[in-house]
Structure 1
Amino acid sequence: MKVYRFDKEEGKKVAHFNSNFIMSRILKTEKTTQIGCMHLEANGIIGFHQAVVSQLILIVNGGGWVRGDDNLKVNITVGDAIYWEKGEGHETTTDTGLIAIVIESEELAPSDFMTIKAK
């Protein structure tokens, strides 16, 4: 398991076309990719299981914890992106609720665009 950052501080200012915003790049794929949004209510859980395909979850609201095969709980919050490789065991839990975008594909390389979160 790797935890990356995609918050504003990781982004770059965009000024093309008279624009004024910050873009945090996440990833680029050429193979089939599935993108969804997960809504976990208070005390929600995505139970421990092996990833069928590599997946990246982007925390956009709330927070909680994730754990991988090493069984260590890691605190997650808005702006964190958690990456699990195909076959890697993982679980997500929250006390207060969270919303996350999930990206699943055979071809994910988040380290191409994001930095790993400092511990």
Structure 2
Amino acid sequence: MKFYKMNAENAKRVTQYNSNFLMNSFMHLNCELRISVMTLKGNGKIGFHQTTTPQLLYLLEGEGVVCNEDKKYYSVQKGIAVFWDHGEWHETKSNQGLVALIIEGFNISEDSILLDTLSSEALHCSD
């Protein structure tokens, strides 16, 4: 058995794309899969940019809003997962703060996600 520690002291502060969040890289598998934990403090943001690979964001704590290239924002909270495909523009923001697990890799597709789907109409939308 081996133990690991993940906290703000060993997180990387990310400011690219006008972002303001902390990233703890969790696991990287031969450039095929990357798993990270993102922490957005109050008024934190993962700035508007294109994905470099398909990406799944799963909220572990807190709440915020997400959008894709249409800049229509949807409210998300703990327990919600959001998938963006390769090259899709997106942004994540939080007034109160959130913690999310991010899974990225070219082998990820909507078909590989085993969660129940949720229609965007079920999420509150703000422009």
The TM-score, its normalising length taken from structure 1, stands at 0.71
Question: For 1:68 and 1:58, how far apart are their aligned partners in 2?
Answer: 16
Of the two structures, which has the highest relative contact order with CA contacts closer than 8 Å and spacing of 6 or more? 1
Does structure 1 conserve the Cα–Cα contact (< 8 Å) formed by 2:66 and 2:91? yes
Matches within 5 A, 1:36-75: 36-75=36-75
CA displacement 1:75-111 (0-9 Å, x = unmatched): 0000101100010000000000000000000011344
- CA offsets per residue over residues 5-51 of structure 1, 9 Å max, x none? xxxxxxxxxxxxxxxxxxxxxxxxxx821001000000000100000
Match of 2:78 in 1: 78
Instruction: Classify the secondary structure of the residue corresponding to 2:47.
Output: strand
8 Å CA contact 2:85, 2:109 repeated in 1 = no
**What is aligned with 2:93?**
93
Structure 2 distance, partners of 1:35, 1:81, is: 14
Q: Which runs of 4+ in 1 moved over 4 A?
A: none
Q: Which residue of 2 aligns with 1:115?
A: 116
Taking only the aligned residue pairs, the percentage that are identical comes to 33
Give the TM-score taking structure 2 as reference length.
Answer: 0.66
Task: Tell me the matched-pair count.
Answer: 89
Inter-partner Cα distance in structure 1 for 2:58 and 2:101:
5
